[in-house]
Amino acid sequence: MELVIHNINGVATSRKVVLNEDIFGVKPNDHAIYLDTKQYLANQRQGTHKSKEKSEIRASTRKIKKQKGTGTARAGSVKSPLFVGGGRVFGPKPRDYSFKLNKKVKLLARRSALAYKALEDKIVVIEDFTFDAPKTKSFVQVLDSFKSADRKALFVLAAADSNVVLSSRNVQRAKVTTAGNLNTYEILNANNLFITESSLQRITEMFS
């Protein structure tokens, strides 16, 4: 697949780039995408949820009523899960949600996600750019030039650029990442994928 390179003003240049068929032209594997996305979302979970069980409640341990003759069920403690303020039965406990995923599966998932974007014609290759200073207005102008201000946009840079990252931080629907941190979830979550020339070379080296 051949794409025209644009500048940050949204104007097509006379130069073109050919996308690597081993990455952007593979047959997408939906199951690999599912596993990689599941792992990414699981890793975002803190897993610090906790509720107290009966043995962890601090309350009086006296028997609240006699065993028989009340006409109601037996009750031995106010810490019982049956009473307000009592413990919880089988409540959540702190846990680690992360799980192992093979590198080849991750690689296939990322290739598949990029292939989907290529099939949908949602990839835009742009010239390398930076800003003189962090300024949200400058980044919004870039989005406006590509008519992506009201759509989710993911910008992929070859290396971290603090001015670009800080300029995009207040833009709700835009995200800036690097080729080394590119993941399946962010690729598929974006409506448009903007890849700089140098980051495209980096992606080709990493995923081929």
Task: List the chain domain ranges.
Answer: 2-46+98-207, 51-91
Degrees to nearest 5, angle at CA 44 with 42 and 47 = 75
Classify domain 2-46+98-207 by CATH number.
Answer: 3.40.1370.10
What is the per-residue pLDDT across 9-21, written as a single tens digit (0 to 9) for each?
989 999 999 999 9
- Tokens representing 40 are 């990414």
Neighbours of 130 (CB within 10 A): 11
Q: Strand ranges (DSSP E) for the chain?
A: 2-6, 12-18, 123-126, 153-157, 174-178, 192-196
CB under 8 Å to 142, separation ≥6 — which residues?
Answer: 8, 129
The per-residue pLDDT for range 139-160, each reduced to its tens digit, is 999 999 999 888 999 999 999 9
Q: Provide the token pair at 85.
A: 């303020």
Q: Could you tell me if 81 and 91 are in contact, meaning their C-beta atoms sit under 8 angstroms apart?
A: no
Length of the chain: 208
Residue-wise pLDDT for 64-116, tens only, equals 999 999 999 999 899 999 999 999 999 999 999 999 999 999 999 999 999 99
Q: How far is CA 57 from the centre of its chain?
A: 37
Tokens 């409506």 correspond to what residue?
A: 191
Mean pLDDT of 121-150: 93
Question: Exposure string (b/e) for 155-182, b if CB count within 10 Å is 16 or more?
Answer: bbbbeebeebbbbbeebeebbbbbbeeb
Torsion angle defined by CA atoms of residues 55, 59, 65 and 67, in that order, rounded to the nearest 10 degrees? 20
Report whether pLDDT(133) > 90.
yes
Q: Is the pLDDT of residue 134 over 90?
A: yes
- Is it the case that residue 125 has pLDDT exceeding 90? yes
Model-level pTM?
0.83
